[in-house]
Amino acid sequence: MQRIPQTPRRNWPRELEKVGFHFHSLDEFNVPREVDDHTFFYWREDAAYAFSKQEVETLYAAAYDLNQRCLEAVQHVIDHDLFARLAIDADFAQLIRTSWDRDEPTLFGRFDMTLDPHGVPKLYEFNADTPTSLIESAVAQWYWKDAVQPQADQFNSLHDALVARWQWLRNHYRNASLLHLACMFDSQEDVCNTEYLMDTALQAGWSVKLIDLQDIGTDGRGNFYDADNVPMEVVFKLYPWEWMATSDYRDQLAHSPVRWVEPPWKAVLSNKAILPILWDLFPGHPNLIEASFDPGHFAGKPHAKKPFLSREGESVTLLTPEGDRVHNPGEYGEEGFIYQAYEPARRFDGRYTTLGVWIVDDVPSGLCVREESGPIAKNTSFFVPHYFTHA
């Protein structure tokens, strides 16, 4: 794995916008900024990460195995009624059980990982419910590779995998006449990611409708409707389950005929409390990082403190080997914290890198690389394209 300087494409912002990637230069305040060949705010292409074929195969194998271990962990949580350990209340737990027993299908997820000094992938966490960085992972970096590194390959079958999975879901929900895709319209990033998924669903044969989450209504009996009073049957929602489970309509979810993508059982895996459960189930697993619920477990040792439910690295604290305390502020942590052994991200040119391996239909289907000046990845961390060689 290397970080290699690249020459940005002429008019690269326009090239990105041509493929539907419009939020390439938002700053930390979600404001679009002026950019050039030397100035980047989110997407950058003055550099790229180059991998060997062996590294890609290692990441693939690790993600494939971790996905299987995660499914076993969901079954373990259900069998041993560990929902309280994840701060999941009884009503939501029953919704999760029902969803799991129905074998409600998943669309996708993303493992956030690093490579340790020996090249072994290590799992930071699983973005199992509402992962983003989709259009930049599936489309933008692929077109970049074709233009800049045409002789190389890329760990990226994400687009084709999503279309194929939507085709499977179309057959599974064959009686549904319409797929709704819902997100918050006040977020350009969410809209672009959801529009991209809508396009993959269209290619798979679905009739689709994009809606603002704020326009969803209910009849009080579990039936949900869009702003045109069209009943909702199958819904992709870019909105986390823990928020749905505490919403005003939470009592209706158990009686609703709507089938959700992602399904409720994915809330077990998007909760960081699954990390110590995974470690207890598979102690010493080469791709897991030791984790615990006990705040004293790593006393005096470098470690990370993570909220059960947080996003974009908020409310995460690191205690480094040098004794420094690195904290990313946020409002998360009410449900509790887990503690994870210190496993620093690899650094290149002073930048910390996080690797996101995409899972579609239980198969690793792509890679994205994010880099940050500090050791905690954030929403504003740069997205940097990648490629690999077969040599």
Q: What is the dihedral of CA 129, 130, 135, 141, to 10 degrees?
A: -70
Q: Where are the domains of the chain?
A: 2-272+346-389, 290-341
| 150-156 contacts at long range (C-beta below 8 A, 24 or more positions apart) | 152/50, 152/387, 152/388, 152/389, 153/387, 153/388, 153/389, 153/390, 154/367, 154/386, 154/387, 154/388, 155/51, 155/56, 155/59, 155/60, 155/366, 155/367, 155/386, 155/388, 156/365, 156/366, 156/367
- pLDDT tens for residues 199-255? 999 999 999 999 999 999 999 889 999 999 999 999 999 999 999 999 989 999 998
Q: Supply the pTM of this predicted model.
A: 0.96
- pLDDT tens for residues 318-368? 999 999 999 999 999 999 999 999 999 999 999 999 999 999 999 999 999
CA-wise closest residue to 153 among 67, 48, 22: 48
- pLDDT tens for residues 102-119? 999 999 999 999 999 999
Measure the N-to-C terminal CA separation of the chain; round to a whole number of Å.
13
